[in-house]
């Protein structure tokens, strides 16, 4: 090893440690204020990110997954109880077969990895739920989903919902169908038991034990909900449309979002006390 490399390593290592320490300090300071209980992410921009690096679009999904783990770690550190991510829309099956197959292979690999490294999720008490029409997934992915969910079912500190394949109108329709079934079974033939709350309780996020949604983040600058959690976010949820591509989304994108949440909570507390 030459002298230059030695000096670089000597300086770089403590700098990295100091940087990590400062980030943890920032997160701990933030977490002393009100924290959202449930944050949702539309992980958009993977393909555009890859193309910006001169790679094929489908390669961006791997970068996207790595960043998902980084963002999850931030959320865990911030003591956010529930994170929901939009991994795959039912409409995404319209994409080229090659890309869909790549995504399904990636999903299966990562789920198998999760199942094999269950102790990591156990350490943080993370329960993994895959929400949506899983019968549309390849059999091998369905098996990997069931195994990963089973591994973490006993955890209850943090919920991680992965929506794949999912669509809000499908979720709402399923919830309405369920409440109608229940009303029929209960002999309630005029529907007096069918209310907004009963429909809400039959949504897949509610069935997975998720609290109401506080923050919705979509990356890559697109200003649409694209059929993600429309029932859950249409009232008091703070909606953030961030220009950053998902693989680049990080702490410094998340901090202002959390500060806005804290500002809202404090403003509400002030108005109640007046």
- Rule CB under 8 A: which residues touch another protein? 89-95, 168-170, 172-173, 176-177, 179-181, 183-185, 187, 189-191, 194-196, 198-200, 215, 222-227, 230-231, 233-241, 256-257, 260
The answer to whether 225 and 213 are in contact (CB under 8 A) is no
Rounded Cα gap, residues 140 and 129, in angstroms: 17
Minimum CB–partner distance for residue 171 and another protein (Å): 10
Minimum CB–partner distance for residue 7 and another protein (Å): 42
31 or 172: CB nearest another protein: 172
Q: Using DSSP, state whether 138 is helix, strand or coil.
A: coil
Vertex 57 angle, CA 56 and 61, to 5°:
115
Minimum CB–partner distance for residue 193 and another protein (Å): 9
Rounded Cα gap, residues 87 and 244, in angstroms: 17
Minimum CB–partner distance for residue 208 and another protein (Å): 18
64 or 114: CB nearest another protein: 64
Minimum CB–partner distance for residue 123 and another protein (Å): 32
DSSP 210: P
Minimum CB–partner distance for residue 188 and another protein (Å): 8
Half-sphere exposure of 56 (CA within 13 A, CB side): 6
Rounded Cα gap, residues 206 and 187, in angstroms: 24
155 or 161: CB nearest another protein: 161
The answer to whether 163 and 107 are in contact (CB under 8 A) is no
**DSSP bridge pairs for 82:** 38, 159
142 or 230: CB nearest another protein: 230
14 or 256: CB nearest another protein: 256
Structure tokens at 190: 């005029």
Instruction: Give the chain's length.
Output: 274
146 or 253: CB nearest another protein: 253
**Residue of 218, 200, 216 lying closest to 261 (CA atoms):** 216
């Amino acid at each position: 090893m030459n002298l230059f490399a030695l000096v670089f390593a000597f300086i770089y290592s403590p700098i990295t440690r100091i940087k990590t320490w400062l980030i943890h300090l920032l997160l701990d300071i933030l977490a002393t204020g009100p924290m959202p209980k449930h944050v949702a992410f539309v992980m958009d921009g993977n393909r555009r990110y890859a193309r910006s690096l001169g790679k094929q679009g489908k390669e961006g999904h791997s970068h996207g997954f790595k960043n998902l783990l980084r963002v999850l770690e931030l959320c865990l550190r911030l003591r956010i109880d529930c994170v929901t991510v939009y991994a795959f829309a039912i409409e995404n099956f319209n994409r080229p077969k090659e890309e869909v197959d790549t995504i399904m292979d990636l999903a299966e690999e990562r789920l198998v990895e999760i199942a094999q490294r269950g102790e990591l999720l156990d350490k943080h008490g993370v329960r993994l739920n895959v929400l949506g029409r899983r019968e549309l997934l390849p059999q091998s992915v369905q098996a990997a989903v069931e195994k990963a969910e089973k591994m973490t079912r006993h955890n209850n500190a943090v919920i991680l919902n992965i929506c794949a394949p999912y669509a809000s109108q499908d979720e709402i329709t399923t919830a309405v169908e369920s409440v109608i079934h229940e009303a029929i079974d209960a002999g309630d033939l005029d529907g007096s038991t069918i209310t907004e709350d009963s429909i809400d309780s039959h949504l897949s996020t509610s069935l997975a034990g998720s609290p109401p949604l506080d923050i919705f983040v979509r990356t890559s600058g697109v200003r649409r909900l694209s059929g993600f959690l429309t029932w859950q976010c249409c009232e008091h949820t703070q909606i953030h449309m961030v220009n950053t591509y998902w693989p680049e989304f990080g702490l410094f994108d998340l901090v202002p979002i959390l500060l806005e949440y804290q500002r809202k909570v404090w403003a509400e507390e002030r108005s109640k006390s007046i």
